[in-house]
Amino acid sequence: MRRREFLTTTGLAASVAATGLESIVAARRAPAFAQGTRLNILRWVDFVPACDVELRRQASEASKALGAEVVFEFINANDLQPRITAAIQSGAGPDIIMMLHNWPHLYANGLVDVTELGEWQGKEQGAYYAQSEAAAKDGARWLALPHGIVGLQFAYRKSWLEEVGQTTWPRTLDELRQVGMKLKKKGKPMGQTLGHTFGDAPAWSYPLVWAFGGMEVDRTGKKVVLDAPATLESVKFMQAFWKDACDEGGFAWDDTSNNRAFLAGEIAATLNGASIYIAAKRGQEKIKDEKGEPMVKDIQHGPIPNGPAGTHGYHVAFSHAVMRYGKNVKLAKDFLTWLHGKQQFAKWFEVAEGFSVGSTKYWEQHPMWERVDPPMKIYRQAAAASRMIGYAGPPSARATEAYTKYIIVDMYAKACQGTKAEDAVKWAAGELSKIYG
């Protein structure tokens, strides 16, 4: 790809009037960045290795076109926050950093305003999912540019559910508990972590509050309303579900434990990203079921079943933030315009095969969805049913603080460990009040 083609693909000049790309295109020459300029992008190590390979390939392409070296660095997701903190505090580090959840609100003061990019992407690729917008937008200001969403669903063993007479995925939480009881009696419990883990525990705990109609705060985001009958009901459900249907070792599980337990044939179902299915598919010669068949053939996905107030998942939004301390802000914005543009994003999106979906509804119509394996099709529209942590208040750094302190997760963990449901809810509401108070 040449510089001219690069600009054409990033181009979209008409719709990016405010970004500066217009002036680049109008000038009919590539931006002149100082020789030796390097653009560093920090991301997590993707669950799908091919996605990182594709990004490295795109970086090489972008380097040639931009006349600046574009370098991706991939680190473990759990190590992103220390890197972000150090970078912002010291005023040095990667030019662009991947943000998970609603971190952009937490680090807002260290980020460049990317409103023009956010609006351009929304216009080019259709309406954003509410989750993407909540994660990266503060009022009218875009703090980061939404890149995608990782969906979380229940992975379950079809044949095991059939063994207890369940031919479809349970529709209600009560049904889930009944099925889980039967499975546990057969030595095939469900598995759910209630540990301090970055993904699976919150992705189960928050939706459970919402499924019963509970909320952390009211719509203003100022009043804590967690201590309510709905939350109490959800905690009582969890106590029973834990005892009747789950592997009770889950208190000590981290994000990896349920993957291993599922692939080892120790649990019948668990809430997770699609990584279990992907690992089983990639290693189908080694990961077999009890009949000696590839386990992947027996895996299906299902949503969190309905509670009295319906079902709302928590799917992890991620975005790219341009760091304020960076010396290559313009280059960073130009690169993001290119990377997030339909043409480039589509290549990465196809490689992800549904593990990560787009940040806008446009990507639900992509032909890839016709090609993916049937168990992956559920991820096509999953992101639409997601809520953001800190519900029902507006997205805020306080919600992130509550999340990073695992208050909602610990509320359920305490109750399942023997604390009275009422006391667990009061404790959690008290902890939230310290943050929101």
Binding footprint of another protein on the chain (CB under 8 A) = 40, 42, 44-47, 49, 71, 73-77, 79, 82-83, 85-87, 89-94, 187, 199-200, 254-256, 258-260, 263-266, 272-273, 275, 279, 283, 286-288
The dihedral sign for the CA sequence 340, 404, 424, 243: positive
- Smaller CB distance to another protein: residue 132 or 259? 259
Do 113 and 141 contact (CB within 8 A), yes or no? yes
* Residue closer to another protein (CB basis): 283 or 430: 283
Nearer to another protein, 58 or 259 (CB): 259
Closer CB to another protein, 79 or 293, in the complex: 79
Q: From the CB of 140, what's the least distance to another protein, in Å? A: 32
Query: In this structure, is the dihedral angle defined by the CA atoms of residues 144, 211, 77 and 280, taken in order, positive or negative?
Result: negative
| E-only strand ranges, 45-95 | 69-75
Q: Which two tokens stand for residue 276?
A: 């279990």
Instruction: Please report how close the Cβ of residue 199 comes to another protein at its closest, in angstroms.
Output: 6
Question: Least distance from C-beta 271 to another protein, angstroms?
Answer: 11
Minimum Å distance from CB 212 to another protein? 27
Report the nearest approach of another protein to the CB of residue 288 (Å): 7
Q: For residues 250 and 395, which CB has a smaller minimum distance to another protein in the complex?
A: 250
Smallest gap from Cβ 197 to another protein, in A, equals 8
Rounded CA-CA distance 52/368 in Å is 19
Tell me how far, at minimum, the Cβ of 283 lies from another protein, in Å: 6
Q: Could you tell me where the DSSP H helices lie in 76-172?
A: 80-90, 103-106, 115-124, 130-136, 158-163
Q: Considering beta carbons, is residue 188 or 414 the nearer one to another protein? A: 188
Are 41 and 71 within 8 A, CB to CB?
A: yes
Q: b vs e for 264-293, b when ≥16 Cβ sit within 10 Å of the residue's Cβ?
A: ebbbbbbbbbbbbbbbbbeeeeebbbeeee
- Quick one: 51 or 179, whose CB is closer to another protein? 51
Q: Nearest-CA neighbor of 214 among 382, 421, 435, 437?
A: 421
In the complex with another protein, the residue whose CB is nearer, 177 or 188, is: 188
* Distance of alpha carbon 22 from the chain centroid: 33
Extract the runs of DSSP E, i.e. beta strands, from 92-187.
96-100, 137-138, 141-142, 145-150, 153-157
Compute the distance between CA of residue 10 and CA of residue 176 in angstroms, rounded to an integer.
Answer: 47
Please answer whether residues 304 and 271 qualify as being in contact, where contact means their C-beta atoms are separated by less than 8 angstroms: yes
H/E stretch holding 270: strand 269-272
Supply the minimum distance, in Å, between the C-beta of residue 325 and another protein. Answer: 9
